Amino acid sequence: GQQVMQIPQYQHVQEGEDFTTYCNSSTTLSNIQWYKQRPGGHPVFLIQLVKSGEVKKQKRLTFQFGEAKKNSSLHITATQTTDVGTYFCAGPSGTYKYIFGTGTRLKVLA
């Protein structure tokens, strides 16, 4: 079945360092979404990418959708302690169904 893998599974960074998580799908995606889940919280939508090669920025966060629409990345510049959490990508699998990636847990050391 369709799988969405993320690497790394865990990442510890020093505050101020950059961070990148990669999302790889076994199938082509019509779009991809990114969510952030703070410790003890619920997933919160960050962004959606639709076009091949699309790049979107939100302040220190840069999101990219691969040319083949099978992979995506999230890059955070100069991490802050507020960036702590688990980052998920999610893609559609047919209708009314999302497959979430395995997640990357980010820990930021002050």
Partner 1 sequence: DTAVSQTPKYLVTQMGNDKSIKCEQNLGHDTMYWYKQDSKKFLKIMFSYNNKELIINETVPNRFSPKSPDKAHLNLHINSLELGDSAVYFCASSPEGGFALYEQYFGPGTRLTVT
Q: Using CB under 8 A as the criterion, what x/- string covers residues 73-92 for binding partner 1?
A: -------------x-x-xxx
63, 66, 103, 106: residue in contact with partner 1 (rule CB under 8 A) = 103
Core vs surface per residue 16-39: b (16+ CB within 10 A) or e: eeebebbbbbeeebeebbbbbeee
Of 77 and 93, which CB lies nearer to partner 1 in the complex structure? 93
What is the distance between the alpha carbons of residues 31 and 4, in angstroms, rounded to a whole number? Answer: 13
What is the distance between the alpha carbons of residues 97 and 33, in angstroms, rounded to a whole number? Answer: 13
56, 62, 100, 107: residue in contact with partner 1 (rule CB under 8 A) = 100
What is the distance between the alpha carbons of residues 72 and 107, in angstroms, rounded to a whole number? Answer: 21
By the rule CB under 8 A, 33 interacts with partner 1: yes
Please report, as ranges, the residues that interact with partner 1 according to CB under 8 A: 30-31, 33, 35, 37, 41-45, 48, 50, 86, 88, 90-93, 95-100, 102-103, 105
